[in-house]
Structure 1
């Protein structure tokens, strides 16, 4: 269930060895993602440039976007699943 009284839920979990792993990615993919991660300003520029075909993205930029897309899709699915579970937890409420 999502606790909506505080900050947004974390986008990662901690594995049995104590490593932070992004939802939807493996430990190795998380490490690769963090290595390739540009600053936020560059992220916006990279995404816009690729979408608008204004420039050719380098292999690192393309791989970063692939990993980000994979993580984002898993994150959205997790949020939807969590919200559905939260709705079921409220089944005692009579919506008449």
Structure 2
């Protein structure tokens, strides 16, 4: 990530870094996802695509439909990249750095 991407992630009104960066086209892109995957995830996550939960054929409960499975797949991809990014950020932090 470049310095400008890191700056874009830090929200000056919040101490928690954002989970996205702003690309060259001004689009928010979730860390670890492409712009297209980010759009797909946000669409699925917003409920714009009706999700249905189907009864499992083995009778052991419910299983998500294809849209929900895809949303979870994208979330897991983003979450893994986010955790790796946070670990790298902590490792690169200067020794003795303390917010308090």
Q: Same fold (TM over 0.5)?
A: yes
Equivalences, count: 76
Structure 2 unmatched ranges of 5 or more: 1-5, 48-52, 54-59
User: Are residues 1:33 and 2:38 paired?
Assistant: no
SS in 1 for 2:63: coil
Matches within 5 A, 1:1-96: 6-38=14-46, 54-86=61-93, 89-90=94-95
Q: How big is the shift at 1:26?
A: 0.1
More strand by share: 2
Query: Any runs of at least 4 consecutive aligned residues in structure 1 with deviations exceeding 4 A, and if so which?
Result: none
TM superposition score normalised by structure 2: 0.67
Aligned equivalents of 1:62, 1:83: Cα separation in 2: 31
TM superposition score normalised by structure 1: 0.70
Question: Which is bigger in relative contact order (C-alpha 8 A, separation at least 6)?
Answer: 1
Aligned equivalents of 1:30, 1:22: Cα separation in 2: 6
More helix by share: 1
Structure 1 unmatched ranges of 5 or more: 40-45, 47-52, 92-96
Q: How big is the shift at 1:54?
A: 2.5
Aligned equivalents of 1:56, 1:90: Cα separation in 2: 47
